A and B are shown apart, each in its own frame.
Chain A
């Protein structure tokens, strides 16, 4: 299985930039298609799709969210961070079955 590694916690100040990383144990890209996706989950809620195929903003998601990366290294950026962004963030790969998720990064306030 492809293992996705995320830092457990990231502390940021409101109005600053947050950069959340996800590293895959092997490439999740096919040609120019990067099969890495990002979700936000708040306590007691279902996950919400933020970014698909590494850099595509999902419908209804604010432009302060962006994604980048290819191969094995991917980044979710939130700029600027707002209070409503305090949540857990998960990456997910669909390059190879089984789909796998990272363990999540909790975004906290400094």
Chain B
């Protein structure tokens, strides 16, 4: 069965960076886009971008250009998102999700808390 297992919660300082992971299993990792979505506490969902692990192509929501960097490791079927220059506005839960137009499988989410 398809599973997306994300890394654990992060507490990070303002101005720093964080890299979170999403390990895929149960399907051919290189054949599907992997998307990343942000959800701030009590708020809705915001699409960050996608990566196609087959060739490393990426596309970002312009709002997250320079904030998020998406990568993928085919050997371990793991997608990564690095968030840089963190501020309190980056405190949120971050989900990975498989899909093209719609997102049929989601990771459990990673809570990132930015605090000094």
Contacts and interface: CB of A to CB of B under 8 A. Distances in A.
Interface string B25-38: 00000000001000
Contacts of A92: 45, 102-103
A64 B62 CA distance: 38
Interface in B82-98: 95, 97
Nearest to B47: A99
Contacts of A58: 104
A90 interface: yes
A52 B108 contact: no
B62 A49 contact: no
A94 B102 contact: yes
Given A99-B47, A101-B45, A103-B44, A46 B106 contact: yes
Interface size band for A: 20 to 34
A14 to B, nearest CB: 26
Contacts of B62: 98
Contacts of B102: 37, 49, 52-53, 92, 94
Nearest to A100: B47
B101 A53 contact: yes
Interface string B12-52: 00000000000000000000000100000000111100000
B74 interface: no
Contacts of B100: 94
9 contacts: A48-B106, A49-B103, A58-B104, A94-B102, A97-B61, A98-B47, A101-B44, A101-B45, A102-B44
Interface of B: 35, 44-47, 59, 61-63, 95, 97, 100-104, 106-109
Given A39-B103, A101-B47, 19 more contacts: A35-B101, A37-B103, A46-B108, A46-B109, A47-B45, A47-B106, A48-B106, A49-B103, A49-B104, A53-B101, A53-B102, A94-B102, A98-B61, A99-B61, A100-B47, A101-B45, A101-B46, A102-B44, A104-B44
